[in-house]
Amino acid sequence: MKKILFMAALLVGTTTFAQYRSNLGPETSINLIGGARFSNFIFHNSEGVKSDNLSYRLNTALGVNLAVNINKSIIRPELMFHQAGAKSKLSGTSFDWKLNYLALNVGYLYSVVDTGILSLQPGLAFGVNYMVSGEQVIGNNRYNIIKEESLGRLDLEVMGLLNAKIQVTPLFSIGAEYRFGYGLLQIEKDIDQRTRNIGNSVLVHVGFNLGANATSRF
């Protein structure tokens, strides 16, 4: 009986909160986001053959975004620092690329599920990435990618997103997000070869609602 009463109370509370939210209009929240990024290169040699000798490397991604929620649509500009690169081994010699990017992203997400407490939002984002530093390690030798000018510093990225969010209180939320990113620009300086960034990110985020709408909920 207690379980039935608890489930009924939870259902009523969720429904009431969802209806209350729908009457408040657009919402704005600021979100701190970070986690792991698994990056790699798509590389084709001078003969156009794709390399199968590259492996993913574990990197970091940290950032902040501003989410404007209008009905079920979310517009989300974002500033992020993330790492990219790849690993390889050839004839017993190890190769490692570590690229550090500052990115400006703009995303669009749509709430396919929104109970007022739990929401699920797939979407797309476009990013402009600028390499602030980079290193290539060949065996025991280290090379500064920017000084060597071996890779281009600018990249454009398109990302598929899947975001899940739990509204803990009217002012505070937590969640997780998966991203798959694909570099649109050829970053290889050698015109006879082609290199593009790809990456998978698994991120967590905490959000804080802003503005009059959040204040009015108390």
SS (H, E, C) 57-70: EEEEEEEEEEEEEE
Share of the chain above pLDDT 90, in %: 74
Domains, in order of start, for the chain:
26-215 (2.40.160.20)
Residue 119, SS3 per DSSP? strand
Lowest-pLDDT range of 67-71, 145-149, 208-212: 208-212
pTM value is 0.82
DSSP assignment letter at 51: P
Joined together, the tokens standing for residue 155 give: 């990249």
38-54 core/surface letters (b: 16 or more CB in 10 A; e: else): ebbbebbeeeeeeeeeb
| CB within 8 Å of 95: residues ≥ 6 apart | 87, 88, 89, 136, 137, 138
50-99 confidence digits (pLDDT tens)? 888 899 999 999 999 999 999 899 999 999 999 999 999 988 899 999 99
SS (H, E, C) 96-114: EEEEEEEEEEEEEEECCEE
pLDDT at position 161, please? 98
pLDDT at position 97, please? 96
